[in-house]
């Protein structure tokens, strides 16, 4: 955390396996988010409409099938009866035509389903592809204050980009089509049942309230346990991760049994909630089957009576029994899909919340003729002027108070002080991660608020306390400082930063692949590579923020030599806690509670016997 910053954040809830959205989690504004998602899918409306139409057509074909099959059964029974009476026989030609028609209907249904699935998968993947791209683009535009002052962390943004978008992809593809097909099937089957027999349809419709009651009770009770299961699963995962990363300390203090006991308590709670949630959700299908079987019995009893009186054909009874099954199944699916749609809306809401976050606003005046910023720094000489700067991360809570200082080109300015004095905050202001509240900050006489951020930042190179390297080769990590650099320039920068001696000892040399976090090289080697990157960038202003605080004395000496060469001829700002590393600075600014309390050279400040002298001597007591 930057010195002097205050970052109140709410803890984000655990989200189950891999951080996925918990079952039953709901959006704050389901209707609004759903409409927004549909508008977002506007560019793909043709494919979406086609998929919906094909899904409905597939259901219609499948719904008509049992009626056609019933006609074939009726013809067989009628022909058998006529053959027994000696008045005719079975019309096999007609039956074959009916069966051929039935085959075409089912083939058409399967084809519609296949094409719909292909189209909908394409639409869904295009939507989430666009979302991921927009989130990645948004990350580079959101100001740091969004993360510092909001109840959102970088890890939460990562979760939205991966888990929420992935869950949205699955629920959008399944939920939307399942909703359409279930509604179409319920309506279609109801119409077909009414067309066959109103009394039999009435018997079936009686099961609807029973089904609704069972589903309502089970869903309401099981969702509570599903949410509890996800919460406790997150606690178990957190406990495992915590104990795994802390095994050295746990074993050193002989706390292995205590760690197991804590895990078993968490695991017992998870078992209890998981058992109840799975049991209740597992009851849904057998209970719905029971209701469906009751419908079957009612249909058979009433249908038999109607068949005796000649009010209905035997084939119609057969078709009707099939329709009873096809009627209860989509009702169960509708209950399930409502939860899926809630899940989809909750994921979409979180994604849209980030996409709607405020972006860094350019304050530079634009040239009416070109539309570009009218004022440009270009390649700066390196003069930096803080003029009565005041700043606070939160309104009314100032961290920097009336700060004034000037750095001339090519000079090294060291900034020292206790933790929380505002040292790193000054560098954030210099790079315009934040804007000053009062006063001004200028580069070569240009107020930083009057130029574009990209124009400003092209003049800075940074070497930070936590060396950031990405997964890739050493050559690629150094070239990150200047992407158009040749291999010879990359290697020259490495030699300049005293990196070449250890690079040549690695398998593959400059082609050696760093793993995630660059953990396969030492901390000092990581730091030297970031210095090589800054050398290659060749920017006029350099920021060194605690660049040697995490290394041993010998490595510190080697890094210091590399930094001394890097700072030559550049305006350099050095933030350091080890005061022995800034003895040669042209000027030292001593900060305390956001104010400069002393300034001068190392010798001058020691001679004054003031706050700097106290800090320096405290490191050697």
Cα–Cα–Cα angle for 244, 248, 254, nearest 5°? 100
Residue 155: per-residue pLDDT:
62
Predicted local distance difference test score (pLDDT) of residue 543: 87
Are 346 and 26 within 8 A, CB to CB? Answer: yes
The DSSP annotation for 553-600 comes to HHHHHHHHHHHHHHHTTSEEEEE-S-GGGGTT-SEEEEEETTEEEEEE
pLDDT surpassing 70 at residue 102: yes
**pLDDT exceeds cutoff 70 at 550:** no
Write the CATH number of the domain with boundaries 384-618.
3.40.50.300
Domain range annotation of the chain:
23-197+343-356, 384-618
Q: Could you tell me the pLDDT band of residue 490, with boundaries at 50, 70 and 90?
A: very high
pLDDT score, position 420: 72
* Average pLDDT, integer, range 546-555: 65
CA Rg value for the chain: 36
Q: Find the range with the poorest average confidence among 288-292, 303-307, 350-354, 551-555.
A: 551-555
The most confident of the ranges 10-24, 268-282, 597-611 is 597-611
Average pLDDT over residues 177-196: 85
CATH superfamily of 23-197+343-356: ABC transporter type 1, transmembrane domain (1.20.1560.10)
Q: Which of 337, 343, 348, 347 is nearest to 180 (CA)?
A: 337
pLDDT digits (tens, 9 = 90+) for 55-65: 889 888 888 88
53 against 422, higher pLDDT: 53
Mean pLDDT estimate for the chain:
81
Rounded to an integer, what distance in angstroms lies between the CA atom of residue 152 and that of residue 8? 10
Q: Residue 528: which pLDDT band, with cuts at 50, 70 and 90?
A: confident
* Whether pLDDT at 500 is above 80: yes
Span 590-608, mean pLDDT?
A: 86
| 5, pLDDT greater than 70 | no
Query: How much is the pLDDT for 22?
Result: 43
**Does residue 438 register a pLDDT over 70?**
yes
The per-residue pLDDT for range 379-401, each reduced to its tens digit, is 888 889 989 888 888 777 888 88
Top pLDDT among 150 and 544 is at: 544
Residue 320, pLDDT > 90, answer no
Q: Once rounded to an integer, what is the mean pLDDT over residues 487-503? A: 88
Report pLDDT for 583: 81
Residue 111, pLDDT score: 94
Q: If pLDDT is split at 50, 70 and 90, which confidence band does 12 have?
A: very low
Rounded average pLDDT over 576-594:
81
Question: Looking at residues 293-302, what average pLDDT do you find?
Answer: 79
Confidence bin at 489 (pLDDT 50/70/90): very high
For the ranges 192-201, 450-459, 577-586, the lowest mean pLDDT is seen at 577-586
pTM of the full structure: 0.68
Element (H, E) at 384: strand 384-391
Tabulate helix, strand, coil % of the chain (nearest 5): 65, 10, 25
Least confident stretch, 195-209, 330-344, 400-414: 330-344
- Rounded average pLDDT over 515-531: 84
What confidence category does residue 157 fall into, taking pLDDT thresholds of 50, 70 and 90? confident
DSSP class of residue 367 equals P
* Percent of the chain clearing pLDDT 90 (strictly above): 8
Q: What is the structure's pLDDT at 19?
A: 40
pLDDT at 423: 80
What are the strands of the beta sheet with 400-407, ordered from one edge? 400-407, 384-391, 438-443, 446-447
Neighbours of 365 (CB within 10 A): 11
Q: Determine the pLDDT at residue 27.
A: 64
Burial of 456-488, coded b for 16+ CB within 10 Å and e otherwise, reads bbbbbbbbbeebebeeeebbbbbbbbbeebeee
Residue 153: band (very low, low, confident or very high) from pLDDT cuts 50, 70, 90: low
Confidence of residue 20 (pLDDT cuts 50, 70, 90): very low
**Least confident residue range of 93-102, 281-290, 508-517, 545-554:** 545-554
Higher-pLDDT residue of 124, 164:
124
pLDDT of residue 107: 94
pLDDT of residue 86: 73
Looking at residue 245, its pLDDT comes to 74
Tell whether the model's pLDDT for residue 13 goes beyond 70: no
Per residue in 507-524, is it b (16+ CB within 10 Å) or e — as a string? eeebebebeeebeebeeb
> Of 301, 56, 341, which is closest to residue 203 (Cα–Cα)?
301
For residues 227-239, give the mean pLDDT.
Answer: 75
| 396 torsion bin: left (phi>0), alpha (psi -120 to 50), beta (else) | left
Average pLDDT on 481-496 reads: 90
Residue bearing the bigger pLDDT, 175 or 482: 482
What's the mean pLDDT in 294-307? Answer: 79
């Amino acid at each position: 955390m930057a010195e002097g910053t205050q970052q109140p954040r709410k803890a984000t809830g655990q989200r189950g396996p891999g951080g996925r959205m918990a079952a039953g989690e709901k959006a704050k504004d389901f209707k609004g988010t759903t409409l927004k998602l549909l508008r977002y899918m506007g560019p793909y409306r043709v494919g979406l409409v086609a998929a919906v139409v094909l899904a409905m057509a597939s259901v219609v074909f499948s719904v008509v099938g049992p009626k056609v099959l019933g006609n074939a059964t009726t013809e067989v029974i009628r022909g058998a009866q006529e053959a027994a009476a000696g008045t005719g026989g079975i019309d096999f030609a007609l039956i074959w035509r009916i069966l051929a028609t039935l085959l075409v209907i089912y083939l058409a249904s399967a084809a519609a389903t296949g094409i719909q699935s292909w189209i909908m998968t394409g639409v869904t993947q295009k939507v989430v592809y666009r979302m991921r791209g927009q989130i990645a683009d948004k990350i580079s535009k959101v100001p740091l204050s969004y993360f510092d002052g909001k109840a959102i962390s970088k890890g939460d943004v990562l979760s939205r980009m991966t888990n929420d978008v992935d869950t949205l992809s699955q629920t959008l593809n399944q939920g939307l089509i399942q909703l359409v097909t279930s509604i179409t099937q319920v309506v279609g089957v109801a119409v077909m049942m009414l067309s066959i027999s109103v009394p039999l349809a009435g018997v079936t419709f009686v099961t609807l309230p029973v089904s609704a009651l069972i589903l309502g009770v089970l869903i309401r009770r099981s969702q509570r346990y599903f949410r509890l299961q996800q919460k406790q699963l997150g606690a178990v995962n957190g406990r495992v991760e915590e104990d795994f990363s802390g095994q050295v300390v746990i074993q050193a203090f002989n706390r292995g049994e205590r760690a197991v006991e804590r895990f078993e308590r968490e695991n017992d709670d998870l078992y209890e909630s998981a058992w109840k949630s799975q049991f209740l959700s597992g009851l849904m299908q057998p209970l719905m089957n029971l209701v469906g079987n009751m419908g079957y019995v009612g249909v058979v009893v009433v249908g038999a009576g109607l068949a005796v009186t000649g009010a209905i054909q035997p084939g119609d009874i057969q078709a009707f029994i099939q329709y009873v099954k096809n009627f209860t199944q989509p009702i169960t699916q509708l209950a399930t899909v409502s939860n899926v749609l809630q899940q989809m809306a909750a994921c979409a809401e979180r994604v849209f919340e980030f996409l709607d976050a405020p972006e860094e606003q350019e304050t530079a005046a634009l040239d009416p003729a070109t539309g570009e910023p009218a004022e440009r720094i270009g390649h700066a000489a390196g003069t930096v002027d803080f003029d009565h700067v005041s700043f606070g991360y939160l309104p009314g809570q100032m961290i920097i108070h009336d700060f004034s200082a000037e750095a001339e080109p090519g000079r090294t300015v060291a900034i020292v002080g206790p933790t929380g004095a505002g040292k790193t905050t000054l560098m954030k202001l210099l790079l315009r991660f934040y804007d000053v509240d009062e006063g001004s900050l200028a580069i070569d006489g240009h107020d930083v608020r009057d130029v574009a951020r990209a124009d400003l930042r092209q003049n800075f190179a940074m070497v930070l306390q936590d060396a950031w390297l990405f997964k890739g080769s050493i050559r690629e990590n150094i070239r990150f400082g200047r992407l158009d650099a040749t291999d010879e320039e990359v290697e020259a920068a490495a030699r300049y930063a005293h990196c070449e001696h250890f690079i040549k000892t690695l398998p593959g040399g400059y082609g050696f692949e760093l793993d995630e976090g660059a953990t396969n090289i030492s901390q000092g080697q990581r730091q030297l590579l970031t210095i090589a990157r800054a050398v290659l960038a060749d920017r006029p202003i350099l920021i060194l923020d605690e660049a040697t605080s995490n290394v041993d004395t010998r490595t510190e000496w080697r890094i210091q030599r590399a930094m001394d060469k890097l700072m030559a001829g550049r305006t350099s700002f050095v933030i350091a806690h080890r005061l022995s590393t800034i003895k040669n600075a042209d000027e030292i600014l001593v900060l305390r509670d956001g104010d400069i309390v002393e300034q001068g050279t190392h010798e001058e400040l020691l001679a004054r016997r003031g706050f700097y002298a106290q800090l320096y001597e405290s490191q050697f007591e």
